[in-house]
Amino acid sequence: MILNKRKSWLWIGLISIVLVLLTIFSAPNSSKLTAGSTYSKDPNGYGAWYEYISQQGMKVERWQKPFNEITKLPEHENITYLQILTKGLDANKPWFIQSGWVAAGNRLVILGGYEPVTEAPFVSEQSTTDFKVQIKTARRKEDPDKSLLGDKFGAVVWQKKVGKGEIIYAATPYIGANAYQEIADNFEFLASLIDDSQEIYIDEYIHGYKDLATRQQEKQATLSDYLQKTIWFPFAIQVLAITIVALLLSWQRFGQKKLLKPKSVDNSQAYIEALAGVLEKAESSDFVIKTIGKDEQLKLQKRLGLGRKILPTKTLVEKWSQQTKKPSNKLQEIFNLLSSPGKTNPKGLMKWIQNWQEINS
């Protein structure tokens, strides 16, 4: 009985350590929040571009309130408002855009629209009459209202008229990031999207920067409200759950433990597990890869409507890429393991199986 209790406490301790580590590593990443901020000097920040436009004589204000607050200004027309989205937010969602505010004669510039990935090269140089802009994205907007920067695959930067105003989108948030400060045309092109005849605001609220009035307004009323918005709240819940389990185990409120009858052995499952053990000891990864690879290939061919006859690798990769619009190298890498000699370690084998499951999902 004492030995069983020790084992129970050992498991509880291990579970507690795992939960604490998961809580710490799942905490919000501040670097993701400040990416795109004019306060940031990191390669994905916009500190250098902000200094550049300030030196050009543009009067720019860092906006540290929610976007809706700008519509409450006494003179809320003739404004250019810049948002740099680096967290995958969908710029087309209506909660994001105040159409009435834009239509009144304002300009909204949104960097990071996150359009679908196309077959365009990831790194390219996009040219206009006045600029040669370096772009690192394969995302493009097909059939935009008016393309301001793009190629045969679609627009990288485009414009949409809304009443008297307009919205300018970019498929990448990093056109004028600090990483491009040695490329003058990138900074100049982004500056050209801003109308210096208007009041110019750059949204810093979405990057976590708030003025005093906003902080006071959003200040948590009680300690419990604060804890619910930090990593300590889920941690406290986990500790409470572990404590309850520990008490139940120590008190044995439900009486003495009863031994369960052993379950009947599943011969098929036992055979599979035994075979897996033999293959592992024999280091027969080649056999496992060929067997699983053939089965997964047939599943993929069936899903693509290509029959049950094993097709050549090149043909299947081309058909899969044509139907899914995904890069062919993703599937080709899976087939490369089939043709490569030598043994594969368990970690590599598991990764290979996971890649197959992703392809066939």
Q: Output the pLDDT for position 64.
A: 93
Spatial separation of the C-alpha atoms in residues 256 and 353, rounded to whole Å: 44
**Averaged confidence pLDDT in the chain:** 77
In this structure, what token pair is assigned to residue 111?
Answer: 């960097």
Report the range of poorest mean pLDDT among 25-39, 52-66, 171-185, 247-261: 247-261
Helical segments of the chain, H only: 2-25, 30-34, 47-55, 99-103, 184-192, 212-218, 223-228, 232-251, 267-281, 285-304, 313-324, 329-339, 346-359
The candidate with the shortest Cα–Cα distance to 112, out of 192, 169, 35, 41, is 169
Least confident of 111-120, 160-169, 252-261: 252-261
Beta bridge partners of 198: none
- Res 42 pLDDT > 80: yes
Q: Which of 66-75, 143-152, 164-173, 177-186 is predicted with the least confidence, judged by mean pLDDT?
A: 66-75
Could you tell me the sign of the dihedral formed by the alpha carbons of 68, 74, 77, 82, in that order? negative
**pLDDT tier, 229 (very low <50, low <70, confident <90, very high otherwise):** low
Of residues 135 and 35, more confidently modeled: 135
- Give the C-alpha separation, 119 to 329, whole Å: 12
DSSP annotation of 155 reads E
Q: What is the pLDDT of residues 298-344, one digit of tens each?
A: 887 787 777 777 878 788 778 777 887 788 777 777 777 766 655 66
- Strand-pair partners of 134: 125
Contact 104, 188 (CB under 8 A): no
- Residue 165 phi, psi (nearest 5): -110, -170
Report the phi/psi class of residue 65: left, alpha or beta, with left for phi > 0 and alpha for psi in -120 to 50: beta
Statement: the pTM of the whole predicted model exceeds 0.85? no
> Which pLDDT score is estimated for 33?
66
In this prediction, residue 280 carries a pLDDT of 59
Those residues with Cβ within 8 angstroms of residue 332's Cβ, 6 or more apart along the chain or in another chain: 313, 317
Token pair 């498929």 is at which residue? 171
CA atoms within 13 A of residue 191's CA, in its CB half-sphere? 21
Is the pLDDT at 184 greater than 80? The verdict is yes
Closest CA to 109 of 210, 202, 199, 205: 202
Residue in this structure with the two tokens 């935009």, named with its chain if needed: 144
Q: What is the pLDDT of residues 64-115, one digit of tens each?
A: 998 888 878 777 778 999 999 886 554 444 445 667 888 888 999 999 877 8
Amino acid in the structure at residue 211: D
| 178, 32 contact by CB (below 8 A) | no
Residues 163 and 104: their CA atoms lie apart, in Å, by: 7
| 15-32 residue pLDDT tens | 666 665 555 554 444 555
Q: What is the pLDDT of residue 263?
A: 60
